[in-house]
Amino acid sequence: MLTRRAAIAGLGVGLVAPALLSLPRRPAARPLLTPPVAGAPALHDVTLEAKARSVKLLGKDGPESTLWTYGDELFPVLRLKRGDRLRATLKNSLGEHTSIHWHGVRVPNDMDGVQYVTQKPVEPGESFTYDFSLPDTGTFFFHPHCNETGQVGHGLLGVVIVAGDESEAFDDEAVIIAKDWRLAEDGSFLPFSTDSGAARAGTFGTLRTVNGVKRFARKVPAAADIRLRLLNLDATRMMDVGVEGAEARIIAIDGNPVEAMPLDSWRMGAASRLDLVLRTPKAGGKVRLRDYFPTEIFDLAELEAEGPDRRAEPFDPAPLYASRVPEPDLAGAETQPFVFGAASDAIASFIDTLDPDDPLSKVILDDLCTASRTFWAINKRSWPNDGHRNLPPPLARLKSGKSYRFTLQNATPHPHPIHLHGHTFKVLGSSKRKLPVHYADTVLVLPKERIEIAFVAAAGKWMFHCHILEHLETGMMGYFANA
């Protein structure tokens, strides 16, 4: 079996396969286009009932597993267009409280779905309606924000696709959701968190799936330009993604359009998304979307071309419309350093600095929101575990509308995918890797790596944490209180 892992390990960029050397030079990337004015907004009313449901994840003849899903589907996909309004009612039919966080979507702060920070927990039997407009196109997802290892571990995840970035429509599209499961052979769940995993790179699943199946295969039109929306929704896993059997370009990162770049391999941490376009082969030909990170290469998808050729012209996908994320002013930005490290014994005392009139300030943080152990910290401060009765003070207070430049320094031997709520930041560069300048909401920071990001602050309380779910539950989480 072909292995490219050794050649690409540690880098966001990969090798050029010898066969490619004889191909004509790749055309220069065409710049992104200015987005048109959004059309009349549509209102999408949905109900998302969080509930338990039996699913045979281990195969048709295998045992049933009791998953928790939003409605009757595993990973429901909400499709809207930029500017549309989403009114989503979460109905909690679980036995514990929950909420919905809209990962990557620039929502108003009170729609951000973080129990105790932006809203009260939605208790069993209760409902809560999220109501907001979608300001950006892209591939996003949603999940709860307390007991994330358990609730996301049981399957509570959904996808939000905001259309309106294609200047010319592609011929087909596939949504590819990678998520592992912690299952025993009898179909029951194994513990979602372990001390040895939480204190290291995370506790890995026992079953790898894509779209809920062990081997994801699909038919696609022949000689066609198809879009893949790949989401790494695992709690822990990091992937090195590449395509074999077709030429592929990266067209968006975390949903944010980039000038089409050739895909050799791209490293994705937990919670990140990658949009690709590829030219499928003639009927009968196969394309593989692969993860080169594990010792044994894992096929994320096998796409088989069928039917008449759709296109004859050389592969040169039309540029997407540029993102409408506010552009940070780098010259005027204030710089702040953040160091992701191990928890120290000298954890700061958590005085309540919230406005005493804030209804959330006296809420007791319950043990659904954190683990009982603390292993990690941001700037030497760990998110408090259940022994703390109030929210800790924010990591910083930022001014809304002002530009900030953060340096994210990983002082641990493990990678951390760092996520900032409510903002889309510009990734300016890495001390270790050649990364293209791009927008993202989650950025992987490798051991000993320093990543620089910049963004325009928005008003509200916004969480900032590692997206390895066991890491955020054991201390690597904080928030900004922005006025």
Interface ranges with Cu ion (CB under 5 A) = 416, 466, 468, 471
If binding is defined by CB under 6 A, does position 273 make contact with ligand C2O?
Answer: no
Q: Which of 271, 368, 453, 466 binds ligand C2O (CB under 6 A)?
A: 271
If binding is defined by CB under 6 A, does position 237 make contact with ligand C2O?
Answer: no
Cα 233 to Cα 273: distance, rounded to the nearest angstrom: 9
Cα 242 to Cα 291: distance, rounded to the nearest angstrom: 7
Q: Which of 4, 91, 103, 290 binds ligand C2O (CB under 6 A)?
A: 103
Question: Which span sits near ligand C2O by CB under 6 A: 189-197, 199-207, 358-366, 460-468?
Answer: 460-468
Cα 22 to Cα 1: distance, rounded to the nearest angstrom: 23
Which CB atom, from 65 or from 272, has the smaller least distance to Cu ion?
A: 272
Partner touching 468 among ligand C2O, Cu ion, none, CB below 5 to 8 Å by kind? Cu ion
The single residue listed with the structure tokens 């506790």 is: 203
Rounded least distance, CB 465 to ligand C2O, Å: 6
Q: Which of 178, 238, 463, 466 binds ligand C2O (CB under 6 A)?
A: 463
Rounded least distance, CB 410 to ligand C2O, Å: 18
Which CB atom, from 160 or from 301, has the smaller least distance to ligand C2O?
A: 160
Partner touching 463 among ligand C2O, Cu ion, none, CB below 5 to 8 Å by kind? ligand C2O
Partner touching 103 among Cu ion, ligand C2O, none, CB below 5 to 8 Å by kind? ligand C2O
Which CB atom, from 271 or from 444, has the smaller least distance to ligand C2O?
A: 271
Rounded least distance, CB 75 to ligand C2O, Å: 15
Q: Are 290 and 300 in contact (CB under 8 A)?
A: yes
Give ∠ CA 452-456-462 in degrees, rounded to 5.
90
Rounded least distance, CB 443 to ligand C2O, Å: 13
Q: Are 429 and 476 in contact (CB under 8 A)?
A: no
Q: Which of 81, 227, 381, 421 binds ligand C2O (CB under 6 A)?
A: 421
Cα 48 to Cα 53: distance, rounded to the nearest angstrom: 14
Cα 420 to Cα 426: distance, rounded to the nearest angstrom: 12
Q: Which residue is nearest to Cu ion (CB)?
A: 466
Partner touching 416 among Cu ion, ligand C2O, none, CB below 5 to 8 Å by kind? Cu ion
Which CB atom, from 416 or from 421, has the smaller least distance to ligand C2O?
A: 421
If binding is defined by CB under 6 A, does position 227 make contact with ligand C2O?
Answer: no
Partner touching 471 among ligand C2O, Cu ion, none, CB below 5 to 8 Å by kind? Cu ion
Which CB atom, from 143 or from 182, has the smaller least distance to ligand C2O?
A: 143
Partner touching 466 among Cu ion, ligand C2O, none, CB below 5 to 8 Å by kind? Cu ion
Q: Which of 179, 267, 465, 471 binds ligand C2O (CB under 6 A)?
A: 465
Q: Which of 419, 423, 461, 471 binds ligand C2O (CB under 6 A)?
A: 419
Rounded least distance, CB 171 to ligand C2O, Å: 31
Cα 194 to Cα 217: distance, rounded to the nearest angstrom: 33
If binding is defined by CB under 6 A, does position 461 make contact with ligand C2O?
Answer: no
Cα 209 to Cα 299: distance, rounded to the nearest angstrom: 10
Which CB atom, from 269 or from 281, has the smaller least distance to ligand C2O?
A: 269
Question: Which span sits near ligand C2O by CB under 6 A: 160-168, 200-208, 408-416, 461-469?
Answer: 461-469
Rounded least distance, CB 190 to ligand C2O, Å: 23
- For residue 193 the two structure tokens come to 């968190």
The single residue listed with the structure tokens 């895909």 is: 263
Cα 472 to Cα 483: distance, rounded to the nearest angstrom: 25
Cβ neighbours of residue 278 closer than 8 Å, sequence gap 6 or more: 225, 226, 228, 243, 246, 247, 248, 249, 287
Partner touching 419 among Cu ion, ligand C2O, none, CB below 5 to 8 Å by kind? ligand C2O
Q: Are 144 and 156 in contact (CB under 8 A)?
A: yes
Find the binding residues for ligand C2O in span 123-182 (CB under 6 A). Answer: 143, 145
Rounded least distance, CB 350 to ligand C2O, Å: 20
Partner touching 465 among Cu ion, ligand C2O, none, CB below 5 to 8 Å by kind? ligand C2O
Neighbours of 196 (CB within 10 A): 7
CA atoms within 13 A on the CB side of 198: 24
**Of 233, 185, 176, nearest in space to 206 by CA:** 185
Rounded least distance, CB 141 to ligand C2O, Å: 7
Total residues at interface with ligand C2O (CB under 6 A): 10
Cα 213 to Cα 210: distance, rounded to the nearest angstrom: 5
Question: What are the residues binding ligand C2O (CB under 6 A)?
Answer: 101, 103, 143, 145, 271, 419, 421, 463, 465, 467
